[in-house]
Structure 1
Amino acid sequence: MIDRGNLLIVGGSRGIGLALAIEALAKYSRVTVIAREEIDKIKELKINFISQDFNDVELIRHTLEIVQPSTLILCVAQGLYGNISDFPNDKVISCVQTTYLSTIIWLKEAILVLPVGSRIAWISSLTAKIKSNNWSFYASAKAGVEHFIRCIRESAKDRGIDITICYPGCLATEFHERSGTQSSKDAIDPSEIANDLLEAIDNRLEFWVSYLDKEAIEKAYQLDEIYQHKFKDSLK
């Protein structure tokens, strides 16, 4: 086994986070999961567990200083599926708090606290790159985090820290049901892509896309580059 060091997965008790934690046991000397509740699978596999609310931002720096991960993976988001009129303001605030505000604070603190040479990965979504009426709050929050990462990459690289944006595609997890919809019939089990995602992080890629979203994401990034160049030209 090539020892990749100490891995911390935030939101690792279910879905893609749990799949990554299980896959990582054979690759990392220490795997730690943060979630609100410890599930039986975490106990069974004897994965290190920390009970912590993702949105309790006052605890972030302390936790990172204690764990000192060489790799940090952020898997937490709150989805809302439906028309904008479907949700009261408190639901919208909760979605944006979790998916955007708390996420960028985790990223900021990680860049300041993680050891030099560390890796950070964040789970994005195809919705961040395309217009989606039914995912409007969630998609906008994801897009905001993507832009934040673009803005802080250089600061991270100054400390030898690389950030990988990950697009896993539609996964067969409880996320869609919790958001108010159903998973696509083409959704795959997250265990199918966990190894490839970990390899991408290990190779310090700026972004990684599963085969499910590869064509759409590549086209979206091409458009991003075109519009960025046009915007830069307008500033001359």
Structure 2
Amino acid sequence: MAKTNRLPADARIWITGASSGIGAAVAQRLLRQGYRLVLSGRRREPLDAIAQTAPASQTLVLPLDITDLAAVQAAGTQIQQHWGALDAAVLNAGTCEYLDARQFDSTLVRHVMETNVMGLVHCIEASLPLLRQGRDPLLMAVSSAAAYCPLPRAEAYGASKAAVSHFIESLRNDLSPQGIDVSVVYPGFVETPLTERNDFAMPMQVDADTAAAHIQRGLEQHRRQVRFPGFFVALVQALGALPLSLRFWLTRKMVRS
């Protein structure tokens, strides 16, 4: 039996990080389904290009830097004035930077944490009043398979995504009585401008449109977790659950000389 689509046909959805990668692919898919989107990202040009693929009444383009609380709050006000409420928010914006422990850089760690954690928190603060007035509302946050297991060079990125998962899963308990569903996305490796910079093998990598298809289904079915590719994410989760001595022995082999 097909699962029910819980998104209204004209659902109002805010997508952050929509200018490239997963966010852009999700936006393009949802526009083809007729949903109304708020498109946010740091660069206006790619947002405008996505918006031009649909009728003007279907999109609201709001470029912003999610680390700027005032800008995010202003975006929330604009959404309220434009559409009155949100039926879903896909908080996808984030960054990935790898730490070199031989040249430890706290500035890098701060930037990743401020973007992936505090940027997400800023967007949640702006989204919740709008979701409370939405129809069967859903708050979706993009974490990472890296949240499941401490991996070499991923100290900042992995810690930020583990914080995202913990924060959102905890928030689920508090939002449930308010009628707001919560979903966490755990991607493996996805072909995006961010992963193009990686200098290591990325097993079971999927393209951005495949990732977007998983996220669309998660949105429409209000799935509590969206994991892809499933086998890879399960492997990382199993690695993280191993006894410390065995996990350390395995992950130590990933460290570059």
* Shared fold per TM-score greater than 0.5: yes
Change (3 A) 1:98 1:159: same
In 1, Cα distance between equivalents of 2:37 and 2:223: 21
2:224 aligns with 206
Look up the SS of the partner of 1:121 in the other structure. Answer: strand
Pick from 39, 57, 60: which aligns with 1:48?
60
| 1:23-75 Cα deviation digits (max 9, x unpaired) | 00122431221011123432542553111111111232332243232111111
The answer to whether the 8 Å contact 1:13/1:37 transfers is yes
* TM-score of the superposed pair, with normalisation by structure 1: 0.82
Counterpart of 2:214 (choices 193, 196, 207) is 196
Match of 1:125 in 2: 144
What TM-score do you get using the length of structure 2 for normalisation? 0.76
- Contact persistence 1:20–1:195 (CA under 8 A): yes
Whether 1:103 and 2:131 are equivalent positions in the alignment is: no
Give yes or no for contact 2:99–2:156 (8 Å, CA) kept in 1.
no
The structure-2 alpha-carbon separation of the partners of 1:221 and 1:112, relative to structure 1 and needing over 3 Å to count, comes to: farther
The equivalences for 1:157-172 within 5 A come to: 157-172=176-191
Give 4+ residue runs of structure 1 displaced > 4 Å after superposition.
Answer: 217-223
Please list every run of 5 or more consecutive structure 2 residues that lacks an aligned counterpart in the other structure: 1-6, 80-84, 243-257
Q: CA RMSD in A?
A: 2.6
Aligned partners of 1:216, 1:74: CA distance in 2, in Å? 25
Opposite residue 90 of structure 1, the aligned amino acid is T
2:93 to 69, 76, 101: 76
Unpaired runs of at least 5, structure 1: 224-236
Structure 1 residues 136 and 221: alpha-carbon distance in aligned structure 2, compared to 1, 3 A threshold: closer
**Cα gap change, 1:87/1:49 in structure 2, threshold over 3 Å: closer, same or farther?**
farther
How has the CA–CA distance of structure 1 residues 136 and 209 changed in structure 2, closer, same or farther, with 3 Å as cutoff? same
1:234 is matched with: none
Match of 2:158 in 1: 139
What's 2:254 paired with? Answer: none
Number of equivalenced pairs? 222
SS at match of 1:9: strand
- Taking the aligned partners of 1:84 and 1:218, their CA distance within structure 2 comes to 24
Matched, 1:61 2:73: yes
1:36 equivalent to 2:42? Answer: yes
Contact 2:99 / 2:105 at 8 angstroms: preserved in 1?
no
1:233 counterpart residue number: none
Q: Is the 8 A contact 1:200 1:208 kept in 2?
A: yes
How far did 1:87 drift? 4.7
